[in-house]
Structure 1
Amino acid sequence: MSAFLNALGGRLAERWLALLAVPGLVYLVSLATAVTLGQRHWYDFGRLRTRLDALATAPGADSAGALAVAAVAVLAGAAVAGTAAQAAGALVEKVWLMDGHGPLARRLTGRRVRRWRAADAEYRAALVAAGRARIGGTADADARTEEAEARYAARNRISLVPPRHPFWTGDRITGPDRRVWRAYRLDLTLSWPHLWLLAPDTTRTELATARTALSAAARLTAWGLAYALLTVWWWPAALVGAATVATGMTRGRAAATSFAELAEALADLHGRDLAAAVGAECEGSFTTAVGERVTRLLSKPD
Structure 2
Amino acid sequence: MGAFLARLGEQLAERWLTLLVLPGILYLAMVRAAFTLGQTHPLDLSHLAHQVTVWAAEPAVRTAGGQVVLLAAILAAAAVVGVAARSLGAAIEHTVLAADWNAWPAPFRRLAAARVTARRSHWDAARLVVHQRREEAGRARALRRRHDPTALHEARRALDRVSPERPERPTWTGDRVNAVTVRLRRDHHLETSVVWPHLWLTLSETDRSETSSARQELSAAYVLAAWAVLYAPLTAAWWPAAVISLLLATTARHRSRVAAEAYAQLVEAAVRLHTGDLARALGIEHSGTLSADIGDALGDLLESRLPEIEVVAPDPTTPPSG
Q: Same fold (TM over 0.5)?
A: yes
Find runs of 4+ consecutive structure 1 residues off by over 4 angstroms. Answer: none
Partner of 2:77: 77
Which sections of structure 2, spanning at least 5 residues, go unmatched? Answer: 103-108, 307-322
Q: 2 CA distance for matches of 1:175 and 1:148? A: 21
Identity of aligned residues (%): 39
Deviations 1:171-212 (A, max 9, x none): 111211111111111222111111111111111111111111
Seen in structure 2, the aligned counterparts of structure 1 residues 68 and 300 have a Cα distance that, compared at 3 Å, is: closer
Higher-Rg structure is 2
* 2:309 aligned partner: none
With structure 2 as the length reference, what TM-score do the two structures score? 0.88
CA contact (8 A) 2:97 2:174 kept: yes
Residue of structure 1 equivalent to 2:313: none
Matches within 5 A, 1:112-127: 112-127=119-134
CA distance, structure 2, for counterparts of residue 211 and residue 51 of structure 1: 43
Give 1:223 shift. 1.0
Q: What secondary structure sits across from 1:68 in the alignment?
A: helix
Give the conservation status (yes or no) of the 8 Å contact 2:195–2:302. Answer: yes
Contact 2:113 2:170 (8 Å CA) reproduced: yes
TM-score (norm 1): 0.94
Aligned length: 299
Cα shift readout 1:215-267 (whole Å, capped 9, x = no counterpart): 11111111122122211111111111111111122111111111111111111
1:37 to 2:37 alignment: yes
Distance change in 2, residues 1:58/1:127 (3 Å): same
Q: Are 1:6 and 2:3 counterparts? A: no
SS of 2:147 mapped into structure 1: helix
Q: Tell me the secondary structure at the aligned position of residue 59 of structure 2.
A: coil
Letter in 2 for 1:3: A
Q: Secondary structure at the match of 1:207?
A: helix
Is contact 2:61–2:70 with CA below 8 Å preserved after alignment? no
> Which residue does the alignment assign to 2:310?
none
Q: C-alpha displacement at 1:56, in angstroms?
A: 2.3
Using the alignment, how far apart are the partners of 2:287 and 2:231 within structure 1? 58
Shift of 1:301: 4.3
Could you say what secondary structure the match of 2:165 adopts?
coil
Pairs within 5 Å for 1:95-110:
95-99=95-99, 100-101=101-102, 102-110=109-117
Task: Name the amino acid aligned to 2:147.
Answer: D
Aligned 1:13-28 pairs, distance under 5 A: 13-28=13-28
- Corresponding residue number in structure 1 for 2:147: 142
Q: 1:232 aligns with which of 228, 233, 236?
A: 236
Q: Which residue pairs with 1:57 in the alignment? A: 57
Are 1:163 and 2:167 an aligned pair? yes
